[in-house]
Amino acid sequence: MNSVALTGVLTEDPELHEDGDEPVRCRMRLAVPRHARSGQRSPGVVYVAVTTFGLEARDCSERLRRGDHIGVTGRIEQHKHRTPEGWRVDHSVLIDQLDLPPETTKGPKEAEQ
């Protein structure tokens, strides 16, 4: 089974990508608190790349901002690519379910600028 559930804080504003034939996607970086095996919180965070698609991607790019707390469930995806130093393997989470913060009265991102 390939399933993961994470809660954390966005480290930057979400990035919406629309690349012609590819589905619309939104990439985000999540800082997830570390926990010891005992369940106690330990110092530091784990940074995880997460991606959602379609209408949910557009909603994330409009509503979410750096510092927002979100929860995600999804599956781990591996990406292997060549760099000048050799092969590199990256991991990210493809989101199946997303828990967003409650609606605010701030409005869209553009209204704040």
Structural domains of the chain ordered from first start: 4-107 (2.40.50.140)
Is residue 104 over pLDDT 80?
Answer: no
Q: What are the structure tokens assigned to 46, written together?
A: 């784990």
Residue 111: which H helix or E strand, with range?
helix 109-112
Is residue 53 over pLDDT 80?
Answer: yes
- Return d(Cα 33, Cα 8) in angstroms, integer: 7
Per residue in 64-99, pLDDT tens?
999 999 999 999 999 898 889 999 888 999 999 999
Q: What are the structure tokens assigned to 29, written together?
A: 């970086």
Q: Give me the pLDDT at residue 108, please.
A: 52
35 confidence band (pLDDT: 50, 70, 90): confident
Q: Give me the pLDDT at residue 105, please.
A: 43
Q: Is the pTM of this model over 0.85?
A: no
